[in-house]
């Protein structure tokens, strides 16, 4: 048989695998809606649950000093309350009751200004304040400590100097890129999340479902090869998932106010990153779930995989601060490369050439995992 | 179609799952154009045997060639030349009948032009033309089975395997499927290989039947010859006025043409040689021994009796334990090994 007709027959087979999958997906509008909505809701929830800055931390102040320094300190704290809204101040007179309410969880801290505070400030004899902290909440504790220290430090400054003193070193910030707020910085992670969710409900999931429902048997009886099956399902999963990812990205950019990419190279870079990430994750799922025979296994694995891939990806927290062993996980984590590339393109005006390293890793990862996936797939029962 | 006059050649084929031997050194041959049946209770090894012949399960020993190709060495060639209807329903519920057939045909590389005409003809044959554009989820079990029969013919297989093709179907749908299978064999000169635990099905359809029990073929011949070989190949049932006494049973058993008998209340079942000839003698002997016959009927023996003769147990009894579990489409395959 001549090679041309063998190839065209393969194309007919693969196209049938693709069409079957796409038709089934299209007839499930709930899944399409969910795969679009879930990542966007995720963005909103994540963006609002751990914000970059904390706000509204309840603090009780017990001021036993009628002097000017104490008044100035309270004013400084009030300024924080109205400005960055880090604090939510309450005032009390009973020191012990105030500390008790920190213990009971009503306040995150109690600040006690002793009666001799202003006196000692005036005499410059090391005034002391009591800050009773709920140290079980590490993040709030650090922030509160910083805010109170700032308020104390500002006590001596009565005026804004017109001219910097010549003897002090001057630090000038130079922003290399347009500023990115916390909400915006989450968008790349959310797109990766959309891809992750998509690759769980397309690709290998169809094999698992066919196996579970017993329809796989009819597949295995046909002349379809392993490459036909994996190839077809990868192509259909790739098209559906990357389309969803592009839509999620557009929604995310709209919601968080990220400017549209300025050049064609950037648009191309975004599309290539999304396609390669999807390909990598679809192939990974084939390796992990290629022999699963119950959808419950997919469910159990998805929660676990989501955590171990998403958190060491740099999507919410910088990779540099991870411990060594976790950094090693990040080195082989396709999501980490995807986040890095997407952040570069969206926030640093990078084009294809600047993210070539990330893309190279994704190409390598996808080829290796897809090879393993084809080897692992069973062609018999 | 394959020119080989032998459609299925099996030599010493075995399958073991751990310590369980599901198929035990089975050998047989099916000629091209035959309608060949495997009859036996569930768990006898029928499904495993079909799965080995259709490349789904690797044999533990022995050899099998289907449509001229070795099921181990030339699995892809075998797959190209056979059609299989597995026991469970395998059509896609969220595709239409037409889509199911079209996609399946493309798995075999059937060209677009050929596909359309072939699918329409086949849908017409199975009586589903009117429902072809509806989702299979809306079909009844019988319609779904008919669709699967049409689907499996779309690439003109040389050998068609059917594993319990009418399990779970109502009597009317079963009859429709039977007619379809007869029509296929007649019109397409196809070799049909079916497994069943319904005696009527094997009798109604198969030219030759292999009776299988516990992984072994206990006997193999045409249903007619299998029944004729039985000693006492007719069953006469006598309804008496009162349950028979021991003396009466002993007197009847002593008759030269009586093979064996069993009594259930007033009804007496007597297995005899040449029923119509010996009916008068039997009734006379009953009357002489003090029995009063209210009515008599002659039944020809069935394959069930052949099965009982060779295995000492009844397929129906074997089935009563299992079949209720086996209905429906969504059964995981590990249940029906």
Length of chain A: 381
pLDDT classification of B322: cutoffs 50, 70, 90: low
Residue B182 · residue B26 · CB < 8 Å? no
CA angle A105, A106, A108 (to 5 degrees): 70
Residue A171 has a pLDDT of 77
Residue A20 · residue A202 · CB < 8 Å? no
Structural domains in chain A, CATH included, are 13-49+180-376 (no CATH), 57-152 (3.40.1710.10)
A30 vs B325, more confident: A30
Structural domains in chain B, CATH included, are 6-227 (3.40.50.300), 231-300 (3.30.70.1560)
Condensed to tens digits (0 to 9), the pLDDT of residues A79-113 reads 999 988 889 999 999 999 999 999 988 999 999 99
- Between chains, do B94 and A212 touch, taking CB under 8 Å as contact? no
DSSP E strand boundaries for B42-125? 61-66, 69-70, 82-85
- What is the ipTM, given to two decimal places? 0.79
Q: Which residues pair with B213 in a beta bridge?
A: B216
pLDDT classification of A32: cutoffs 50, 70, 90: confident
Q: Is the pLDDT reported for residue B312 higher than 50?
A: yes
Residue A49 has a pLDDT of 75
| Count of A-B CB contacts under 8 Å | 84
Task: Tell me which chain A residue has its CA closest to the CA of residue B336.
Answer: A214
Question: Which member of B84, B109, B135 has the closest CB to residue A13?
Answer: B109
Mean pLDDT taken over chain B:
88
DSSP E strand boundaries for A35-114? 57-63, 87-92, 109-113
pLDDT classification of A51: cutoffs 50, 70, 90: low
Phi-psi label, residue A372: left if phi above 0, alpha if psi -120 to 50, beta otherwise: alpha
For chain A, percent of residues with pLDDT exceeding 90: 58
Q: Is the pLDDT reported for residue A164 higher than 90?
A: no
Q: What is the mean pLDDT of residues A202-219?
A: 92
Residue B178 burial (C-beta neighbours within 10 Å; 0-12, 13-18, 19+): middle
Residue B326 has a pLDDT of 46
Condensed to tens digits (0 to 9), the pLDDT of residues A181-209 reads 888 888 999 999 999 999 998 999 999 99
Q: What is the mean pLDDT of residues B153-177?
A: 92
Residue B336 has a pLDDT of 40
Strands A130-133 and B35-39: unpaired
Residue B332 has a pLDDT of 43
Residue A50 · residue A259 · CB < 8 Å? no
Q: Is the pLDDT reported for residue A175 higher than 90?
A: no
Which chain A residues touch B75 with a CB distance below 8 Å? 379
Q: Residues of A at the B interface (Cβ-Cβ below 8 Å)?
A: 9, 12-13, 15-17, 19-20, 23-24, 27-28, 212-215, 217-225, 293, 379-381
For chain A, percent of residues with pLDDT exceeding 70: 94
Report the alpha-carbon distance of residue A334 to residue A343 in Å, rounded. Answer: 14
Strands B293-300 and B234-240: antiparallel
pLDDT classification of B319: cutoffs 50, 70, 90: low
Q: Is the pLDDT reported for residue B292 higher than 60?
A: yes
Condensed to tens digits (0 to 9), the pLDDT of residues A98-152 reads 999 999 889 999 999 999 988 888 888 888 889 998 888 888 888 888 888 888 8
- Between chains, do B333 and A381 touch, taking CB under 8 Å as contact? yes
Mean pLDDT taken over chain A:
89
- Between chains, do B332 and A293 touch, taking CB under 8 Å as contact? yes
Task: Tell me which chain B residue has its CA closest to the CA of residue A27.
Answer: B94
Residue A374 has a pLDDT of 94
Task: Tell me which chain A residue has its CA closest to the CA of residue B94.
Answer: A24
- Between chains, do B76 and A223 touch, taking CB under 8 Å as contact? yes
The first and second tokens of residue B188, run together, are: 């397409």
B69 vs B277, more confident: B69
Nearest to A127 by CA among A78, A52, A193, A72: A72
Report the alpha-carbon distance of residue B78 to residue B10 in Å, rounded. Answer: 14
Task: Tell me which chain B residue has its CA closest to the CA of residue A19.
Answer: B103
Report the alpha-carbon distance of residue A294 to residue A283 in Å, rounded. Answer: 19
Residue B334 has a pLDDT of 45
DSSP E strand boundaries for chain A? 57-63, 87-92, 109-113, 130-133
Which chain B residues touch A28 with a CB distance below 8 Å? 94
Which chain B residues touch A219 with a CB distance below 8 Å? 107
- Between chains, do B57 and A381 touch, taking CB under 8 Å as contact? yes
pTM beyond cutoff 0.95: no
Which chain A residues touch B78 with a CB distance below 8 Å? none
Report the alpha-carbon distance of residue A273 to residue A359 in Å, rounded. Answer: 7
Helix (H, G, I), strand (E, B) or coil at B329: coil
Chain B: closest CA distance from residue A381 (Å)? 5
Condensed to tens digits (0 to 9), the pLDDT of residues A289-305 reads 999 999 999 999 998 99
Q: Is the pLDDT reported for residue A50 higher than 90?
A: no
Cα separations in angstroms, A240 against A194, A287, A362 = 11, 20, 19
Residue A315 · residue A339 · CB < 8 Å? yes
Chain A: closest CA distance from residue B67 (Å)? 15
Task: Tell me which chain B residue has its CA closest to the CA of residue A26.
Answer: B94
Question: Which member of B90, B103, B329 has the closest CB to residue A20?
Answer: B103
Q: What is the mean pLDDT of residues B69-75?
A: 96
Q: Is the pLDDT reported for residue B299 higher than 90?
A: no
- Between chains, do A212 and B106 touch, taking CB under 8 Å as contact? no
Task: Tell me which chain B residue has its CA closest to the CA of residue A225.
Answer: B76
Residue A88: phi and psi, rounded to 5, are -130, 105
Which chain B residues touch A25 with a CB distance below 8 Å? none
Question: Which member of A13, A24, A220 has the closest CB to residue B95?
Answer: A24
> Which distant-in-sequence residues (6+ apart) come within 8 Å of B177 by Cβ?
B142, B145, B146, B149, B165, B166, B169
Task: Tell me which chain A residue has its CA closest to the CA of residue B92.
Answer: A215
Residue B81 has a pLDDT of 95
Q: Is the pLDDT reported for residue A166 higher than 80?
A: no
Q: What is the mean pLDDT of residues A42-58?
A: 79
């Amino acid at each position: 048989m001549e090679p041309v007709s063998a190839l065209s027959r393969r194309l007919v087979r693969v196209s049938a695998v693709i069409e079957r999958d796409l038709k089934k997906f299209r007839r499930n509008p709930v899944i399409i809606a969910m795969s679009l909505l879930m990542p966007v809701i995720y963005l909103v929830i994540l963006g609002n649950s751990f914000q970059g800055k904390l706000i509204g931390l309840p603090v009780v102040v017990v001021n036993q000093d009628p002097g000017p320094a104490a008044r100035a300190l309270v004013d400084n704290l009030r300024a924080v309350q109205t400005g960055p809204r880090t604090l939510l101040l309450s005032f009390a007179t009973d020191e012990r009751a105030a500390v008790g309410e920190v213990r009971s969880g009503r306040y995150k801290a109690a600040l006690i200004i002793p009666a001799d505070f202003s006196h000692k400030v005036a005499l410059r004899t090391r005034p002391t304040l009591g800050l009773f902290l709920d140290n079980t909440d590490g993040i709030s504790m650090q922030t509160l400590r910083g805010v109170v220290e700032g308020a104390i430090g500002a006590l001596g400054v009565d005026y804004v100097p017109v001219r910097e003193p010549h003897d002090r070193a001057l630090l000038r910030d130079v922003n290399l890129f347009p500023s990115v707020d916390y909400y915006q910085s989450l968008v790349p992670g959310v797109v990766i999340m959309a891809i992750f969710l998509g690759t769980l409900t397309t690709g290998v999931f169809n094999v698992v479902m066919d196996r579970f429902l017993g329809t796989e048997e009819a597949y295995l009886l046909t002349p379809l090869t392993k490459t036909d099956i994996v190839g077809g399902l990868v192509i259909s999963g790739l098209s559906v998932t990357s389309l969803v990812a592009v839509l999620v990205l557009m929604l995310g950019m709209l919601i968080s106010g990220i400017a549209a990419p300025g050049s064609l190279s950037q648009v191309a870079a975004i599309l290539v990153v999304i396609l390669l990430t999807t390909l990598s994750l679809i192939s990974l799922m084939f390796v992990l779930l290629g022999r699963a025979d119950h959808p419950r296994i997919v469910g159990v694995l998805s929660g676990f995989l989501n955590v171990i891939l998403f958190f060491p990806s740099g999507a919410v927290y910088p990779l540099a601060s991870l411990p060594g062993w976790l950094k090693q996980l990040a080195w082989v984590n396709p999501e980490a490369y995807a986040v890095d590339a997407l952040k570069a393109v969206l926030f640093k005006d990078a084009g294809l050439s600047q993210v070539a390293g990330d893309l190279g890793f994704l190409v390598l990862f996808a080829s290796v995992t897809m090879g393993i996936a084809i080897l692992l797939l069973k062609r018999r029962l | 179609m394959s020119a080989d006059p032998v459609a299925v050649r099996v030599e010493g084929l075995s399958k073991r799952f751990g310590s369980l031997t599901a198929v035990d050194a089975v050998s047989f041959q099916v000629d091209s154009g035959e309608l060949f049946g495997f009859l036996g209770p569930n768990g006898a090894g029928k499904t495993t045997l079909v799965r080995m012949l259709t490349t789904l399960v690797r044999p533990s020993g022995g050899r099998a060639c289907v449509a001229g190709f070795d099921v181990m060495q030339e699995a892809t060639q075998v797959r190209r030349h056979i059609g299989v209807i597995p026991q469970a329903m395998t059509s896609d519920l969220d595709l239409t009948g037409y889509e199911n057939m079209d996609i399946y045909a493309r798995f075999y590389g059937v060209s677009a032009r050929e596909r359309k005409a072939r699918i329409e003809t086949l849908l017409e044959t199975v009586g589903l033309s009117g429902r072809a554009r509806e989702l299979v989820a809306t079909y009844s079990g019988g319609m779904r089975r008919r669709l699967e029969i049409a689907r499996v013919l779309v690439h003109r297989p040389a050998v068609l395997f059917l594993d319990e093709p009418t399990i779970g179907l109502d009597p009317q749908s079963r009859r429709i499927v039977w007619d379809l299978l007869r029509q296929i064999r007649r019109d397409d000169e196809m070799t049909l290989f079916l497994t069943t635990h319904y005696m009527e099905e094997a009798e109604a359809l198969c030219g030759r039947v292999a009776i299988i029990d516990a992984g072994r073929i206990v006997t193999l011949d045409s249903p007619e010859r299998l029944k004729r070989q039985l000693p006492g190949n007719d069953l006469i049932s006598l309804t008496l006025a009162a349950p028979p006494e021991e003396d009466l049973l002993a007197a009847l058993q002593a008759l030269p043409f009586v093979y064996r008998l069993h009594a259930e209340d007033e009804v007496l079942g007597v297995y005899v040689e040449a029923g119509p000839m010996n009916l008068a003698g039997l009734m006379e002997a009953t009357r002489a021994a003090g029995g009063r016959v209210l009515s008599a009927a002659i039944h020809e023996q069935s394959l069930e009796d052949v099965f009982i003769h060779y295995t000492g147990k009844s397929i129906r009894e074997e089935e009563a334990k299992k079949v209720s579990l086996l209905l429906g489409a969504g059964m995981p395959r590990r249940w029906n090994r």
